Chain A
Amino acid sequence: MPALSRQEIFENVKQTLVDALSVEEDEVTEEATLTGDLGAESIDFLDIVFRLEKTFNIKMPQEELIPRDILSNPDYVNDRKLNAAGIAALKQAMPHADLSEFEKDPDIDKISDVFTVGSIVRFVEAKLAEKG
């Protein structure tokens, strides 16, 4: 597959989200969050990952998208919230995501809220680059 431009990747991701979430094209902006702005549920995440894997012919392993091992590590979590060490580890494990809002209330049950359209596009870009 010839190398895709960022715009082409964005268009494909946008179409996938429109199909999977029954949202309008103009709702799918870079900053839109999948859960908050686009109404995605946890099953939608699984559906979206399947569709993107098929569209881009890449693998998007769950643990690379959301590092469950960090979220369930007792050294990093107090009372279902990440501590400073946990947040640092998370930032390293999720370079595609913007965690600045999440940091204000690092509730591990709200991790899905960090995913924006932009972070999905960045993740896909990285995976395509890996393939070379």
Chain B
Amino acid sequence: MRWIWIDRFEQVETGVQAGAVKNVSLAEEHLHDHFADFPLMPPSLMIEGMAQTAGILVGEARGFAEKVILAKIKRARFDRLVRPGETLRYRAEIEQLTDAAASTLGRITVDDELVGEVDLVFSHIDQNISGLEFPQENFVFTEAFMALLNTFRQHGGERIEL
């Protein structure tokens, strides 16, 4: 199982807001444990989808200079169950952004219906050394994430004709 919980960016407004989609599919292994007889998209993985959308937005605003990691879930609320075949839309906006940290607000929708709200705080861990050991290089923004962003930038979501 890959640890990528968004499929595609639909919009990126540097330093302001970003939108990404995630399709929920029975081809995904985790749904068969959550739960075998009634697959549901786990709320914790919807939080991760928002964290990836918002984290890339925050990282991009700072030129990926810092390692941006999820430090606090202020609040994550879910209004209904999400099932296979549904498309999740994550919209994240930057509320505050400083050298040390960032706070983001997020809404999750399915077909324009509000499904959840997720508000997060990210820490720029190079700036907040608190006795933790981690590698020097920016391990957070992996090739997979950068590819998502590059796909958006290069094609802007356009169709490619054969």
Contacts and interface: CB of A to CB of B under 8 A. Distances in A.
B100 A47 contact: no
Contact of B74 (A42, A47, A54, A62): A47
Interface residues of A, number: 10
Interface in B86-110: 95-96, 98, 100-101, 103
A113 interface: no
Nearest to A62: B100
Contact of B123 (A46, A53, A54, A62): A46
Interface of B is mostly: strand
Given A43-B72, A62-B100, A50 B130 contact: no
B130 A46 contact: no
A47 B95 contact: no
A44 interface: yes
B42 to A, nearest CB: 23
Most B CB contacts (10 A, CB to CB) among A42, A46, A50 go to A46
Contacts of A46: 71, 100-101, 121, 123, 128
A53 B130 CA distance: 24
A53 B96 contact: yes
Given A50-B101, A50-B103, A62-B100, A44 B130 contact: no
A44 B72 contact: yes
B95 A43 contact: no
B71 A43 contact: yes
Nearest to A20: B74
Given A42-B128, A46-B101, A54 B71 contact: no
Nearest to B130: A42
B96 A50 contact: yes
A49 to B, nearest CB: 9
Given A50-B95, A53-B96, A54-B95, A43 B123 contact: yes
A63 B121 CA distance: 20
B149 to A, nearest CB: 25
Interface of A: 20, 42-44, 46-47, 50, 53-54, 62
16 contacts: A20-B74, A42-B128, A42-B130, A43-B101, A44-B72, A46-B100, A46-B101, A46-B121, A46-B123, A46-B128, A47-B103, A50-B121, A53-B96, A54-B95, A54-B96, A62-B98
